[in-house]
Amino acid sequence: MKPTIDERASSGNATLQNNRHAGFKFRVLVVDDEPSVLKTAAALLFSRGYEVLTAADGFEALVQLRQSLPDAIISDLNMRNMSGFELLSVIRRRFPHIPVIAISGDYDGAAPQGLICDAFFTKGHYTPEALFTRMAELMEQSPIRPNMSKPDKAPVWIPKNDAGYFIITCTECLRSFSVPDDVEGEVRETDCVFCDSKLLYLADVHKLRKPRKHE
């Protein structure tokens, strides 16, 4: 008989407790441009025995990844500067062994097109136990993840910035550059100006202006 969600969550928490006593903590990187969300998520994860790193957008997350690699990543999607769509595509290309979970309140239940992740949750429609259970399952599978094939051309969802350009981060060299909106179609291709890698991206022709509560 298959274990229930609560039983699997308890098993995952027991593993975390054992690792804590052994002097080892799983490290989780949380990426969100809302400070209150980052603070709450960090406190909740810390209370369950995780070491927590935080980043306010995709660029900050890449800085964190250069300093130390986490065991799992939880990311928002619609963020200023570098979106979660782009960040998760870069992570899957460069760090395929790291499991990633996307969380967003902008989509109803189903993961949006172009999103590359291992699990998707809709904000306000999941429990912490469900999240911890899925994290435990993904981290248990992570040792075999480097053997998974990496997509050669994973389309990246890119919002247009206020100046009317798309800011793209190369999935090979991790450097960013701007691309003008002068090509028709949603799925587009460009060459990295630094390393000449071919990049596919899903162009959102609407400028991304995410309202904030304090504005």
pLDDT in tens, 136-189: 999 888 655 544 444 444 445 566 667 777 878 777 777 778 888 888 877 788
DSSP string computed for 110-179:
SPPTT---SEEEETTSS-HHHHHHHHHHHHHHGGGGGGSPPPSS--EEEEE-TTSEEEEE-TTT--EEEE
Q: What is the CA radius of gyration of the chain?
A: 18
Q: Name residues whose C-beta falls within 8 Å of residue 63's C-beta, 6 or more positions apart in sequence.
A: 55
Cα–Cα distance, 63 to 26 (Å, whole number): 19
Does pTM surpass 0.75? no
What pLDDT was estimated at residue 151?
46
Domains defined for the chain, CATH in brackets: 5-147 (3.40.50.2300), 156-207 (no CATH)
- DSSP-based three-state secondary structure for 204: strand
β-pairing verdict for 100-104 and 51-55: unpaired
> The sheet that has 198-207: what strands, in order across it?
176-180, 165-169, 156-160, 198-207, 187-191
Coil, helix or strand for 90? helix
Chain-centre distance of CA 34, in angstroms?
15
* pLDDT score of 16: 47
Report how far residue 142's alpha carbon sits from residue 136's, in angstroms, rounded to the nearest whole number. 10
d(CA 4, CA 167) in angstroms, rounded, equals: 44
pLDDT tens profile 30-82: 999 999 999 999 999 999 999 999 999 988 999 999 899 999 999 998 888 78
Q: What is the pLDDT of residues 179-196, one digit of tens each?
A: 888 888 777 888 988 888
Q: What dihedral do alpha carbons 13, 15, 19, 25 form, nearest 10°? A: -50
Are 61 and 86 in contact, with CB atoms under 8 Å apart?
no
